[in-house]
Amino acid sequence: MLQRMQRLVIWAFERFYHEGAFSYDLVAWLMSQGYWSQWVLAALPEIADQPLLELGCGTGYVQKARQTQSSLTVGLDESRQMLALSRRRAAQANLVRAVAQALPYADGSWAAVLSTFPAPYLFDRRTLAEIQRVLTADGKLYIVDGGSIPNGIYAIVIGLIYRIVFGRQTNPDVPTSQLDPRIQRLHEAGFRVSSGMKQVGRSQVQLFIAEKANQPLIN
């Protein structure tokens, strides 16, 4: 039953991200009570002017915001429809159609990789291995996720989706942060992870910063 629900959620998101891409900004704006465009930019002050590869560039908010930076920014997405919307918002953006499980870049070529409100593909072991490969020795993966608003439905809906797709462990002897399946998968892929909440107006958004470790932190 759970596997069937997982497949259904992933299938529905794929349809929304491809054929339904035209409605993406409106739905995100409504669910976030207007905070969406601010949430997706939450990591940019941390990244500053480093060369940036954005995985899942979506409708192009980050690409537009980065057009004034002197360093290279590339937006990568598998969805042809999303790339068209991103191009419409940021006409001069450097956009690439590819999958995150096979990044078309040399080893150690990016100082920063960013993913905002990622679909489950980001935590695929193949994706995380590719991110490890293309990051410089001191490079970092930035993930913006988990937007929440007092009395808002976004966090509830997204939390439910993550529980269905990733599952949730329960162990009273282990800190909650260690039970987060996203953090677990990052650890297993050889990242050191720090996370915290960032205030955006009356809302909050979660920011993960994952640094390359010498070896996986979970056996």
Q: Say what the pLDDT of residue 29 is.
A: 77
Whole-structure pTM value? 0.81
The CA-atom distances, in angstroms, between 186 and each of 55, 68, 81, 117, 164 are: 16, 31, 29, 15, 19
How confident is the model over 146-168, as pLDDT tens digits?
888 876 555 555 555 555 444 44
CA–CA dist 175, 139 (Å, integer): 27
The answer to whether 128 touches 187, Cβ cutoff 8 Å, is no
Q: Say what the pLDDT of residue 216 is.
A: 46
CATH of 2-212, one of 3.40.630.40, 2.60.40.420, 3.40.50.150, 3.40.50.720: 3.40.50.150
Q: How far does CA 44 lie from the centroid of its chain?
A: 13
Each domain of the chain, given as residue ranges in start order, spans 2-212
